[in-house]
Structure 1
């Protein structure tokens, strides 16, 4: 199974240090050599590019990577629901950190979890079902999510046929619901990436640019490459091959986004040194944030010490800056019924960023999803320990983080006045 972009596993000592530093999850990512604090900049320079399908818009990361036996998907297993996908998910065979609100799915698949606390079988959805993708894109349309970045991991292995099919399903749903989409390549554990990513684009994915729903920026089809420069064993690539790939896509006429490490600019912590030329070759830079903050203090730390200098560097190099906004790890109690997410929206709009990348739409594996989620303990399996949206005592509707995203988008677009006070009620 593909390795996911796992959030950080923080030791008790690092977590204690982080709390003292204002909510940053790990001292590894606090950054030892950050620039001075960035004050609000009402006259900040706008994005390098005009409004398009990503600049000035809300983009959501879309995994589309859940499958169940019997759904017809070529992978034929509990894809991303179970550690051992040959067996149904259960408390001792699971990758699930949040439970979806299952009430709008027509096709559901029984798991080996105990029944829900409120009664009824514990079932899950499959991304392979057309109705699932249609439902997700309808939620996007209803909640101001302009563009979906379809995650595409190495398609040359056993997952390839299923990922190919998901691309077609996403295209159909985007066309139906008036959303945009683009391909977001994740190079994690893709050893032959340099040649195969070009082959995949040329022989398969470039065909999707003929769709009116395919995202275009500055007159160019959008492609994102996520993972260059990360300092871990799953992405061991050297700068040369990475720069070759970026320039190859640019030569194909694409607008190329870089999903880059948090500390791309300083080449520290999660970023390998020597990659600055690679990062500066992108048209847009979107640094990763999952696992980096856990509360409002952490969001403010990043605004003062990372986001402001990042934006200034991008401005100086004519690059669009699309920061990542996270709802927070629900299972770890980070969300504060929307306050963490809203603080990021508020801080980043003050910087006149080019747009937002929401991580993620359907990431139930990391409890970082904005898609509809179990509202109360009655909607999660008995004894599972999985937290619902009311985990901190505040009752929230299952679509709360979708609605919050919609309001963040309105503030980005100037349709809602800049405000540090979250305008979105937990229940409509």
Structure 2
């Protein structure tokens, strides 16, 4: 890739320790509480050196900059060929024993919820998955994380589809999902691509869903965290993933942060007391909130989206402002805040 001035465009690697250090430094600088380290099923199963290096560096940086950090197991990659969640159980033992994730050197910053270490299991109830939630050992995994005498006593968050409560639309129509949810502690619905600024009054739909979700969770003694995202685009990725259905560029536009702040304000007004931001550094689906250039590479083959003329740190700053609202350090405004 080349920039408009002909210079080669450079990109970072999360395998590089200084990259991870800088990312956590930004979190501290902008008042972002911390991150979930996404650990895919394949990484857990194969325990590859690369992903373990990133985790080690992340926990070191989290301690250095006093940012929260937690493990999120993503079931993507789990097949239909008899595999189950036992690999995750073994991986959690390894992370606790060998990497000391819940007892890292220096400042202890592993994310706790209600006094217990928080572990997330993501990808439960999506109909496009090859696995069936009834036969991959999810109850055993949840029971292990909550009740094992050595590795348990954890709070468990479950990552589910947007329509988890009604069991339709983007969710499997299986009431067993509700049984699993009730065994956990926090519900995290995946709402990326489910709302858009291009649909009139779509924030009303987000508000109503959030209110109804929170009521269901309250009735069942569960906590609830809405998922928000600055925008979405996977045109480039879709050319390889589904060449028969290539997606448009910038399909869910950021509108300079307007869409992001609309979701923040809507979720908080609907009763949310915490927010999950998707994502810190996911570039291939254009959800990243970290620093991005308004002068992306120029290519006849690959399309890039810019920052709508906003500063590179615009979404880090907005996320920090949302965090202040959640901490009651400033009042919520419906209009996106402006920097002084």
Match of 1:242 in 2: 138
| Secondary structure in 2 matching 1:193 | coil
The answer to whether residue 206 in structure 2 is matched with residue 302 in structure 1 is yes
> Which residue of 2 is the match for residue 118 of structure 1?
5
C-alpha contact (below 8 Å) 1:229/1:239 kept by paired residues: no
**C-alpha displacement of 1:241:** 2.3
Higher share in helix: 2
Instruction: Give unpaired runs (5+ residues) of structure 1.
Output: 1-112
Matches within 5 A, 1:322-401: 322-329=225-232, 331-332=250-251, 334-376=253-295, 379-383=296-300, 384-390=302-308, 395-401=309-315
C-alpha contact 1:128 1:166 (8 A) present in aligned 2: yes
Alignment counterpart, residue 418 of structure 1, candidates 313, 319, 332: 332
Q: How does 1:233-312 map to 2 (within 5 A)?
A: 233-238=129-134, 241-251=137-147, 252-272=152-172, 273-274=174-175, 275-295=177-197, 297-304=201-208, 306-312=209-215
Query: Are the counterparts in 2 of residues 322 and 356 from structure 1 also a CA contact under 8 Å?
Result: yes
Q: CA RMSD in A?
A: 1.8
Quickly say closer, same or farther: Cα 1:352–1:160, change in 2 above 3 A.
same
Distance 2:95 2:130 in 1: 25
CA deviation string 1:223-282 (max 9, x = no partner): 000011211134433177222221221111001111111111111122221210111221
Q: State the partner residue of 2:111.
A: 215
Q: How many positions carry a matched residue from both structures?
A: 306
Structure 2 unaligned spans of 5+: 234-249
Contact 1:187 1:193 in 2 (8 A): no
SS in 1 for 2:188: strand
- Call closer, same or farther: CA 1:239–1:279 in 2, change over 3 Å: farther
* Distance in 2 separating the partners of 1:415 and 1:235: 44
How far apart, CA to CA, are the structure 1 residues paired with 2:171 and 2:303? 34
Structure 2 partner of 1:8 = none
SS at 2:35's partner residue? Answer: strand
How far 1:320 moved relative to its partner? Answer: 1.0
Distance, in Å, in 2 between the alignment partners of 1:342 and 1:202 is: 39
Q: TM-score, normalised by structure 2?
A: 0.85
